[in-house]
Amino acid sequence: MKIIKRKIVILLILSLAPLFWINNVYGESNNDTSNNRVEMSNAALKRLFEAGEPNRSQIIDMLSKRDIDGLEKTYDNLFRQYKGDASYEVLLLDSYNLFSPANNISLADLDYWVSETGSYIAFAARGAYKNKLGFTARGTKFISETPKYRIDDMKELHREAAKDLQLAIKKNPLLMPAYFNLISVAKASAMPFTPKEILDQAIKQDNRTYTVRLAYMHAIVPQWGGSYEEMSDFAKQTAQYANVNPLLWTLQGVVFAEQGADYWRESNFAKALDAYTSALKFGDRTAWLVKRAACFWQIGKKDKAVEDYKKALYYNGNDTEAKNMLQSLQTEMKRQ
């Protein structure tokens, strides 16, 4: 009889354990856990900006001069930094995002790079470029106002981009910027793969990835056929991996930030303020701080706006928007 009772108690404990684990992971019943995760996330955000920015002018100059050896060494070093420390993931992505028509980069130079080396770096660079070139071809008008030939041009460029990006991944399965761009392609153009399939492939290779998960969340926003509920569920599931990359905790705030952007477009600044405040409970993001500051400014809470602008600049002293807005606000406050 005692043995039976002991088994019942053990089964009861085991049945409650998942609930206890979930509450601790999501911070629903353990504020200390949540606060610790936020602190760790904010520290990771600071390290992210301390990692610096890619040397845009140097990289573009090397490409235009076809300094292939210099490019390969630069990008191989950036990848090695990320491989050793997840804080460098955003820097690595930003480095590939430089390959854009907006930076007056020549496709011929990228073709030359690919033909000379056939490296994962060259294929990823050209794939990232063609992804952005596709969106340039499409234009910025609503789909109903966009001629079919523009849509067809985008899809063709995205198919070419996908080939390059998949080759890059085949050569280096840990290259997260390639997965990031593939999700962008899959979101906009008909592809034989879905954003979720690319996400799963990336996570299988490196569970630390923050940028690929963020790209996936933006692929399932309501405007793209997803929902806030779907985004929220994904973010909560991801929160359990915050121990491998603290920034993953902040993904729970993305849903609120998206809602805040919707309220902002409607000029409903009070609700936008509430939404951005909810987002920031899961950790700081400079974009969210700047947006909440603007909301505070709109409703007359200028001291609070100053605090948020200064906090954004604490993380990123080069944030031009935060600098300019803070200066304008302080000038306005002095005149009163």
Domain ranges, ordered by start, for the chain: 53-218
Average pLDDT for residues 131-142, to the nearest whole number? 91
Residue 43: per-residue pLDDT: 97
260: closest CA among 290, 229, 303?
290
Residue 144: per-residue pLDDT: 84
Does pLDDT of 135 surpass 70? yes
CB 78 within 8 A of CB 125: no
- For the stretch 263-279, pLDDT in tens is 999 999 999 999 999 99
Residue 230: per-residue pLDDT: 97
The total of other beta-carbon atoms located within 10 Å of residue 268's CB is 15
Average pLDDT for residues 128-154, to the nearest whole number? 91
Which CATH number is 53-218 given?
A: 1.25.40
Residue 146: per-residue pLDDT: 87
Q: What is each CA distance from 242 to 30, 189, 246, 252, 317, in whole angstroms?
A: 16, 32, 5, 11, 26
- The residue assigned the tokens 């496709």 is 107
Q: Which range is least confidently modeled, 66-75, 132-141, 191-200, 309-318?
A: 132-141
CA 157 to CA 154: how far, in whole Å? Answer: 5
Does pLDDT of 241 surpass 80? yes
Residue 5: per-residue pLDDT: 43
Residue 321: per-residue pLDDT: 96
Residue 31: per-residue pLDDT: 76
Average pLDDT for residues 311-330, to the nearest whole number? 96
Q: Which range is least confidently modeled, 110-114, 117-121, 188-192, 209-213?
A: 188-192
Residue 30: per-residue pLDDT: 62
Q: Which range is least confidently modeled, 24-33, 39-48, 63-72, 197-206?
A: 24-33
Residue 27: per-residue pLDDT: 40
Does pLDDT of 25 surpass 50? no
- For the stretch 282-298, pLDDT in tens is 999 999 999 999 999 99
Residue 4: per-residue pLDDT: 40
Average pLDDT for residues 4-9, to the nearest whole number? 40
Does pLDDT of 35 surpass 80? yes
Q: Give the start-end residues of each E strand in the chain.
A: none
Summary mean pLDDT of the chain: 91
* Distant-in-sequence, close-in-space partners of 218: CB < 8 Å, separation ≥ 6: 187, 224
Supply angle C-alpha 151, 153, 158, rounded to 5. Answer: 95
Average pLDDT for residues 210-235, to the nearest whole number? 96
